[in-house]
Structure 1
């Protein structure tokens, strides 16, 4: 029997679009007055971004990543995608390989404006791999908006999907939203379904959270019912190790990072 799903987090202003719009409007203004101020790098105190990138570099060195299309959910100022590009595509891409596609999405227009401005101001002329940013709502948008058959976006899904704190924010909002059929659905379940929509078969999903433990993330993301209902599901495929602490006889850590892989039933 699969483990029970964790309880939805207590709602907070950090789960509202108004909070993030206001924050990124402030950071956008700060960057305009001082281009060296690129905004907040979330979970910087845990060095999460560097650890996520190193995890991906290790997979790439092993030859098991194959990530040429990379999507960052809730990209903020775009720092994670820039760090990924710097490490995975520092030497560019051989001419006989398909051009990489790096896309950051966020539901806050101010966030996307900040990411674009920071990217333009700090563009590495020696790196020919572009990063693009667009406004897109993880829960309200359709995966088809960022997956197409025109050649400019992946036609069968993304090789790699990233999340550094976005699932946390979603989990701090309303516990459910109405669906077209009329029945409300847990935002966490919607999130997992959208990740499955976005990933190609065999694609990787790397997520970092400060509000959920590794066990809780696995309880949300791994769901055997998806196998029968959709023929596609997520399984844990790796984790990032962080320093742990002891408090009250219980061992823990401030953040966790887990990698999942999309599996599909072969036709």
Structure 2
């Protein structure tokens, strides 16, 4: 069987691309404070579905309105701001390896007055000494998709996926939830790539399905794992 998780290297996996992208979004925001940047996967209403999933599951695992959260590859911080808008008031951290992204998200946070809850920092999550603490909820909206296009190589023949699961386990509290949304991988692929002995599939978010050539599928998927 072909390995459908092997993706071609793309500029979408480079820091330079995202620095340039968010420098432009930041410039647009400085000219028009109402322009807070692109909402990834908006066509599929993924952000809304992720927020609703967390709201619907308050009281299960470590999901609470005051849960601590970290958003990996936060971009413009839009997901964290949406969570704030919906009443989540625990400490939130958005990390991204693009300093332009972090500067942009910080500016938007101050203008929208979410800086009491959400903070942002530039970080390489694969650095061995990177550990911002442990969180109740870890979020990923398209970040693994981008990382998989980077062509990153690690020591000891570890893949991006090996190291990504290790990162999640390192920063996620026991009984905490990792919620990931992807457009490059199917639900089955995400489970195969991410699930470990301690990081186990919990639930998934349903999206409208389509059928092509007799095969049913979705353009996007969101899967929640919990750490046992």
Same fold flag (TM > 0.5): yes
> Is 1:107 aligned with 2:97?
yes
CA 1:7–1:256: 2 relative to 1, 3 Å: closer
| Alpha-carbon offset, residue 140 of structure 1 | 2.8
Aligned match of 1:237: 202
Q: Distance in 2 between matches of 1:72 and 1:16?
A: 19
CA deviations on 1:196-233 (whole Å, 9 max, x unpaired) are: 1010111100000000000000000113xxx4xxxxx2
User: In the TM superposition, what whole-angstrom CA distance separates every residue of 1:132-189 from its partner, at most 9, and x where no partner exists?
Assistant: 1111112236342x11xxxxxxxxx210000000000001111x4233xxx3320111
Q: 2:214 aligns with which of 230, 249, 253?
A: 249
- 8 A Cα contact 2:61 2:177, kept in partner: no
Q: Unpaired runs of 5+ in structure 2?
A: none
Instruction: Decide which of 153, 170, 178 is 1:177's aligned counterpart.
Output: 153
Alignment size in residue pairs: 227
Contact 1:5/1:220 (8 A) holds in 2: no
Report if the CA contact (8 A) 2:71-2:80 is conserved. yes
Any idea what the Cα deviations from partners look like across 1:40-92, whole Å, max 9, x if unmatched?
11000000000000000011166862352100001111110011122243xx6
Q: Which residue of 1 aligns with 2:109?
A: 119
What's 1:8 paired with? 6
The residue that corresponds to 1:150 in the other structure is: none
User: Which SS does the other structure have where 1:10 is aligned?
Assistant: coil
- Consecutive unaligned residues of structure 1, counting only runs of 5 or more, are 93-99, 148-156, 228-232
2:119 maps to 1:137: no
* TM-score (normalizing by structure 1): 0.80
Structure with the greater alpha carbon radius of gyration: 1
Single out whichever of 204-213 and 56-65 deviates more from structure 2.
56-65
Q: Does 1:48 align with 2:46?
A: yes
Q: Distance in 1 between matches of 2:4 and 2:183?
A: 15
**Cα offset, 1:7, TM superposition:** 3.6
TM-score (norm 2): 0.93
The answer on 1:197 being equivalent to 2:170 is: yes
**Alpha-carbon separation, structure 2, partners of 1:141 and 1:104:** 19
Aligned residues of 1:5 and 1:216 also touching (Cα < 8 A): no
Alignment of 1:56-75 (within 5 A): 56-60=54-58, 65-66=63-64, 68-75=67-74
